[in-house]
Structure 1
Amino acid sequence: MQTIYQPVSGILDVKYAPDEQTELIENPPRFTWMPVQLENDQYRLQISKTEDFSADQTDTFQPIPYNFYTPNKALEAGTYFWRYSLVDSESWSDVRTFYVPENLPNTSLPNREERYQSVSLAHPRLWLGPEQLETFKKDIKQDETHCNWHIFYEKSVQPWLERELMPEPSPYPDNQRVIKLWRQMYMDCQETLYAVRHLSVAGVILEDEKIISRAKEWLIHVANWDTEGTTSRDYNDECAFRIVAALAWGYDWLYHHLSDEEKGLVRHSLYRRTEQVADHVINRSKIHQVPYDSHAVRSLSSVLIPCSIALLNDAEEAQEWLDYTLEYYATLYTPWGGKDGGWAEGGMYWTTGMAYLIEGLNLVKAYMDIDFYQRPFFQKTGDFPLYCYSQDTRRASFGDQSNLGERPGLKTAFNIRQFAGVTGNGLYQWYFEQVKAWDTNADQKFYNYGWWDFPFDDMKYLHDFPEVKAVAPTDVEPVKWFKDVGWVAFHHQMDKPEDHIKLLTKSSPYGSLSHSHADQNSFLLHAYGEPLVIKSGNFAGCNSTMHKNWLRPTQSHNTLLIDDVGQYAGTNTILNKKAQGEILEVVSKEDYSYVREDATQAYFETVPYLQKFEREIYFVNQSYFVIVDSVDLSKDGSVNWLLHSLHEMDIHDQVFKINGEKADLEGRFIYSSSGDLFLDQSNEFNDVDPAELEELNSEWHLKATTKKSDRHRIVTLLTPIRKGEQKYVSYFMDDQDHGVHLYLTEDGKTFQITLSKAY
């Protein structure tokens, strides 16, 4: 039988799946393939129990508008075959096979006809439907503290009754993006969203004509802004997301209080702005083929869900946009993680991504009774902040971080509480309660205030989800491997911040893509309430000099340079993805935990003569760390061993010491195959605009440089010490045979590490 064109997937493309190597984690399988042609590519999909696709053993699904699909029913356990074709062709794809195990979670997606059978077209539709609205009105009349309504009204409604209308943002000078102005613009637009959404919701719930009138004033004002101007998607997408969301909430909740002329004005602006976003996501970014556009993926939940729901029955395209979004979340989401719940872009971007996603999925769940939270990723993703963005740590997570070196903030906690409500996991609730207890002035911090409103989020959550009892993490995994993103977290006494020791390392298949950095085989260390080995720098904004010249490049991370050259961190997305690492092995035993990771590929573009860079990390007796670095080169070269701290280091010979406020760290190079290293430190930030350092505390950067050789073996002993305590680890070496045997002793306990010699 003739087969159709099946282009080979590139490094950034979706893959042909499932196949014999696919480990299914949910039922039905998710089907993906490369598009057959550039347009008009509607498909039929066949799933069969027989390889010849006999009619009585085969299910056919059509038409499928894009190159991905989730069936509307789970499959019985067993072996299956699948293929696809264009709807108007008899030429089929190659036949692929897969196996469905027993007892997988059923996460099928209703087909396009089924989804809307019980959907009401009455308003409001966002969050509360008409019946729920009447019940909520009665509840707050009886008790104004119901779902913390009184706090929402005081903090999120009253301020907007008297505030002047927000002026439409002005263009950038010479239309050139300026970080400070960009930040102010999105905060202004976020305030506009607060005003429209909160006044509209409160006015309708309270049946208060004064509030409704003020809400309409804000809504009509925003609807008159230029849809092609400074708040359009192409000019400033962050502003666009907020303004179109404001229009959706205002249009939906004030629908019965708008004249036909007012509805037409708002609907026109809402439609055009939604169209801008949808066109970019589907036709330009094509996230169904190349799924790594962070903002485009986020706009599905922040824009296409609320706006499409608000416009249903008013615009023919609204249902198409919503169907695309639902099918994406059912099939391709998330491009940044997998079954372990990891998030390759890091803790802060987990926070941002989940915040908008949660809001969107909650709207879908309430309006359409489609529950995406049953998918395995959502059942596990609360583990990621718990282990990798721990509530009591600072500067101890990878990727772009915009919280100026503070502990994870209240929005991260609100997110993880959501997953406590979804899963019943008390560890997540514990995290929330810990953060809430310390982050008491979160509302006015720019990285919170410009993005979300806590009283509104809290009110919705308390209405929609059950209360979960907190459980302290007294028995968590001592070493947690997120295989999906290549992160490994070591923990000791997570439940006691004053005793907590955490080391986080990564070697990720995502490389330096998107909000990830050129930091494969890097590590971070936080102990006894103190950040000791830190994530250096400050994320002021994408493409700032700090971001381009310091944060993303390897020089700001705790890994290696080869002859002062790091991993690829440029602007080529393909090379960013290729600059990847791999976790090779993770071990957890009674007396030690261990990881072995390989970052060789990350230097392929920049240091082509690097043949191997493997790093091994031992956490011994939950007390000290030993790092073994193995570097092979095809010509002689030197290795630069990097480490960053908030404190100037005391350096003596092969020893460096960090003296913190609550803890100290002693570092010793106890073996180097090429001889002693040369240790130096500075507090400079190379090629960074001094103005971008104003919000950043002093930092110190250690560079330990080897002599030149084509083989390097470096062993580093790191001993965190509680302030005021006495502690050391003694060591000696035996290298009589072809190996190097290191013996380390603390309080009578001796641990052996063996490595091969460098020849």
Structure 2
Amino acid sequence: MYNIVDGKIYSLTPIRREGLPGGGKIYSMKNKLFLTLTFIGLLAAVAFESAAQTQVLSTMEQTHPRLLLLKGEEKQLLQNIEKNPGWNKLHLAILTECDQLLDQPPVERIQIGKRLLDKSREALRRIFQLSYAYRTTGKVQYFKRAEKEMLAISAFEDWNPSHFLDVAEMTMALAIGYDWLYDPLSAESKSLIKRAIIEKGIEPSFENKYNGFLKAQHNWNQVCNAGMTFGALAIAEDEPALAEKVIQRSVKSIPLAIDHSYKPDGAYPEGFSYWGYGTSFNVLFNSAMEKAIGTDFGLSELPGYLKTAGFMQHIVGPTGLAYNWGDSGLKEGLTPAMFWFASKTDDPTLLWSQMEHLENASSRLVSNRILPAALIWGAHYQSSKVKAPKELLWTGQGPSPVAYMRTSWTDPDAIFVGFKTGSPSVNHAHMDVGSFVVDAQGERWAMDFGSQGYNSLESKGVDLWNRSQNSQRWEVFRYNNMAHNTLTFNDSLQRVKGYAKIDGVSSKASNLFAISDLSDLYTGQVQSAKRGVAIVNKKAVKIQDEITTGAKAAGLRWNMLTAAEAKIVNNHTIELTQNGKKMFLRFDANHPIELQTWSTKPTHSYDAENPGTIFVGFTTTVPAQSTLQVSAVLSEKIVKTTKASLADWK
């Protein structure tokens, strides 16, 4: 057993170093390292650190494969797959895909803008699935095709270390192939692949111009450390000092991302798609370490980490669409990491939506580059034994606090509301603080544009990654508050350094709600701005805003993005129609408002088109030294809700 102190790995078992004065006894406890040291004892501690490093590798599986699925574990995996039609269908889909790969040429080193990432990802997808196919069938054609891919990649001039995610995924790809196919690989192939892992993967990670990920608090940390650790574990018996150095470094670095990304309760600050990226690679790291050396050094038990599966589960509505705030997409399909979390927490309800993906497994699932991990972590689960979650509300704080609420997990027409706060300063964030989405009747009525392809902006010279207040980033149509379901005052931007959290919630099924004070986002524009979002009596969604002005009046635009056809019915109601279904958006305010619709036609040549969408809402001027209280109720039939200030919501 081990403990981590100041980023270094220590044994929890006392070790006696012969030949050192005083016996050199060093003890490491679970929470603190208690040392009573004289000057001679300090020398013993230095010697112990070296010994502990050696002992870490001494616990490593000495045979290949050692990553994720140990030698001989294929038998139990195949038995699990045979017991469940869904898993068997997925298994066969991988084999079919590998059959189609047999005659395809290996990936080429073709860079798009500053990235080689799509090639790295395709390499990982191919090698992982081909290696899986070989291990579960023993058919030599899968091995030969994987070897061909690996040798081609090994021959690349480099893996584009200037964008180190590319290197990380390429290293992981070769590490899995090298480890899983170790026995049939020739000595020459092993030498070429191992050299590539070291020289094009691991060694560049020690150059300061490339290893900024070590101090990052976001997905780069997780992905890059995972890739380097896979590479290190794959070649550890031949390069023990290098492997140990990489492992020690990763164990010290990854907590920076875990602390920022999951503390206190699992809300992932970069949103849906980047949860699928950063967290999946973090889980691959955890799983590889546990399998290869018997421990992840307690990293999976850091605050908030095991709770984050709830964030991923609750972020998807009954339409099957995620709340795609920030730089996110709408769908991901089967998410292998969820099966690891379910096993780790002994909570199969986390798989409620995943089992639906499994039962409807299609050939599209093979596009997931870590798909074999889903079978490794989840094939022992049977769909019939996975029950629906009970919680209808999930909230999380952190850099990007969120609240997700719904009326049912089993009704496809259930109401779902996602509510997002936080700050535009967070990595991959937009000016969307206070924004929301709504599902009802099997349709998404209030939506979010989500991301725009980075290269489409970077190639036009857009200063995309500068998050200062006056950055060109906020001129991108989809990124600023005018394009999100939130508030805009005097045509001004939200304050980049502003921050809002979830200030109050109700989990009562008949009165689900979340409240946030958004004032910090609008400093200098209004005195205060508060928003509450609720599902009332399981029938209607209510968005209530309370705006207080100071010495100056404030022009207000209240905005909601929708793909529905919109018709202003009267001075307080907008009718929305979509796929033969209808919803009404009714406003009640204590000041005059003017209902409006706006085009979503972009303003710059570099902006993505937004066909089939429209903004609906209202404008008004809030007089100086006054408070506007306005509620918007979205429902299938026009309903009136009780008038109460947010302070009185209970």
Aligned ranges 1:673-752 → 2 under 5 Å: 673=591, 675-677=592-594, 679-687=596-604, 689=606, 692-693=608-609, 697-707=611-621, 709-711=623-625, 713-722=627-636, 727-730=637-640, 744=641, 751-752=642-643
Which stretch shifts more, 208-217 or 548-557?
208-217
Listed one character per residue, the Cα deviations across residues 65-100 of structure 1 (whole Å, up to 9, x for unaligned) are: xxxxxx761479xxx99xxxxx999xxxxxxxxxxx
Listed one character per residue, the Cα deviations across residues 415-461 of structure 1 (whole Å, up to 9, x for unaligned) are: 323322322323222211223345635337xxxx2x5153x234323
Equivalent pair of 2:337/2:374 in contact (CA under 8 Å): no
Asked whether 1:224 is paired with 2:134, we answer: no
Equivalent pair of 2:165/2:223 in contact (CA under 8 Å): no
The one of 487, 511, 525 equivalent to 1:592 is 511
The one of 419, 429, 445 equivalent to 1:516 is 429
TM-score using structure 1 length: 0.69
SS across alignment from 1:411: coil
CA gap 1:385/1:630 in 2 versus in 1, 3 angstroms:
same
Structure 2 match to 1:233: 161
Q: CA deviation at 1:380?
A: 1.9
SS across alignment from 1:535: coil
The one of 124, 148, 166 equivalent to 1:193 is 124
Listed one character per residue, the Cα deviations across residues 521-568 of structure 1 (whole Å, up to 9, x for unaligned) are: 122211121111111355333673898412221111111111011214
Counterpart CA distance in 2 for 1:580 and 1:557 is 17
SS across alignment from 2:624: strand
Structure 2 match to 1:476: 391
Structure 2 match to 1:741: none
Listed one character per residue, the Cα deviations across residues 198-234 of structure 1 (whole Å, up to 9, x for unaligned) are: 444544665555544443333222211102xxx3221
SS across alignment from 2:197: helix
CA gap 1:115/1:714 in 2 versus in 1, 3 angstroms:
farther
Listed one character per residue, the Cα deviations across residues 341-373 of structure 1 (whole Å, up to 9, x for unaligned) are: 211211222122232222222211211221554
Equivalent pair of 2:506/2:512 in contact (CA under 8 Å): yes
Equivalent pair of 1:642/1:702 in contact (CA under 8 Å): yes
The one of 419, 440, 447 equivalent to 2:341 is 419
SS across alignment from 1:683: coil
Structure 2 match to 1:503: 417
Structure 2 match to 1:323: 248
TM-score using structure 2 length: 0.80
Asked whether 1:536 is paired with 2:449, we answer: yes
Which runs of 5 or more structure 1 residues have no equivalent in the other structure? 1-27, 34-41, 45-58, 62-70, 82-86, 90-109, 569-575, 731-743, 745-750
CA gap 1:537/1:483 in 2 versus in 1, 3 angstroms:
closer
Structure 2 match to 1:168: 109
Listed one character per residue, the Cα deviations across residues 265-307 of structure 1 (whole Å, up to 9, x for unaligned) are: 222211123235633689742644xx43432332222x12211
How many residues align? The count is: 599
Equivalent pair of 2:334/2:365 in contact (CA under 8 Å): no
- Which residue identity is paired with 1:299? C
The one of 327, 336, 341 equivalent to 2:261 is 336
CA gap 1:421/1:589 in 2 versus in 1, 3 angstroms:
closer
- Which residue identity is paired with 1:654? H
Q: CA deviation at 1:641?
A: 1.1
Counterpart CA distance in 1 for 2:302 and 2:378 is 22
Higher relative contact order (Cα pairs below 8 Å, separated by 6+ residues)? 2
SS across alignment from 1:121: coil
Counterpart CA distance in 1 for 2:385 and 2:236 is 40
CA gap 1:703/1:427 in 2 versus in 1, 3 angstroms:
same
Equivalent pair of 1:31/1:331 in contact (CA under 8 Å): no
The one of 542, 556, 563 equivalent to 1:646 is 563
Counterpart CA distance in 1 for 2:126 and 2:506 is 52
Counterpart CA distance in 1 for 2:106 and 2:343 is 37
The one of 373, 377, 387 equivalent to 2:314 is 387
Which stretch shifts more, 524-533 or 626-635?
626-635
Counterpart CA distance in 2 for 1:409 and 1:613 is 34
Q: CA deviation at 1:472?
A: 4.3
- Which residue identity is paired with 2:58? Q
Structure having the higher helix fraction is 2
Equivalent pair of 2:482/2:488 in contact (CA under 8 Å): yes
CA gap 1:534/1:712 in 2 versus in 1, 3 angstroms:
farther
Structure having the higher strand fraction is 1
Counterpart CA distance in 2 for 1:557 and 1:142 is 47
CA gap 1:659/1:631 in 2 versus in 1, 3 angstroms:
farther
CA gap 1:113/1:537 in 2 versus in 1, 3 angstroms:
closer
Counterpart CA distance in 2 for 1:391 and 1:441 is 23
CA gap 1:436/1:720 in 2 versus in 1, 3 angstroms:
farther
Structure 2 match to 1:365: 290
CA gap 1:255/1:415 in 2 versus in 1, 3 angstroms:
closer
Aligned ranges 1:181-580 → 2 under 5 Å: 186-203=117-134, 208-227=139-158, 231-234=159-162, 236-275=163-202, 278-279=205-206, 284-285=211-212, 287-288=214-215, 291-301=216-226, 303-315=227-239, 316-329=241-254, 333-370=258-295, 372-375=299-302, 377-390=304-317, 392-394=319-321, 396-403=323-330, 408-412=331-335, 414-438=336-360, 440-443=362-365, 449=367, 451-454=368-371, 456-462=372-378, 467=382, 470-473=385-388, 475-477=390-392, 479-484=393-398, 485-498=400-413, 500-508=414-422, 510-536=423-449, 538-541=451-454, 544=457, 548=473, 549-568=476-495, 576=496, 578-580=497-499
Equivalent pair of 2:205/2:211 in contact (CA under 8 Å): no
Equivalent pair of 1:355/1:411 in contact (CA under 8 Å): no
Equivalent pair of 1:393/1:529 in contact (CA under 8 Å): no
Structure 2 match to 1:64: none
CA gap 1:402/1:386 in 2 versus in 1, 3 angstroms:
closer
Equivalent pair of 2:98/2:130 in contact (CA under 8 Å): yes
CA gap 1:345/1:391 in 2 versus in 1, 3 angstroms:
farther
Counterpart CA distance in 2 for 1:163 and 1:601 is 55
Aligned ranges 1:73-222 → 2 under 5 Å: 73-74=30-31, 112=53, 114-132=55-73, 148=88, 151=92, 154-169=95-110, 171=111, 176-177=113-114, 186-203=117-134, 208-222=139-153
CA gap 1:658/1:395 in 2 versus in 1, 3 angstroms:
farther
Equivalent pair of 1:312/1:318 in contact (CA under 8 Å): yes
Equivalent pair of 1:287/1:297 in contact (CA under 8 Å): no
Q: CA deviation at 1:166?
A: 2.9
Counterpart CA distance in 2 for 1:633 and 1:435 is 52
Equivalent pair of 1:585/1:596 in contact (CA under 8 Å): yes
- Which residue identity is paired with 1:243? M
The one of 614, 620, 639 equivalent to 2:530 is 614
SS across alignment from 2:477: helix
Equivalent pair of 1:664/1:720 in contact (CA under 8 Å): no
Which runs of 5 or more structure 2 residues have no equivalent in the other structure? 11-24, 36-40, 44-50, 465-472
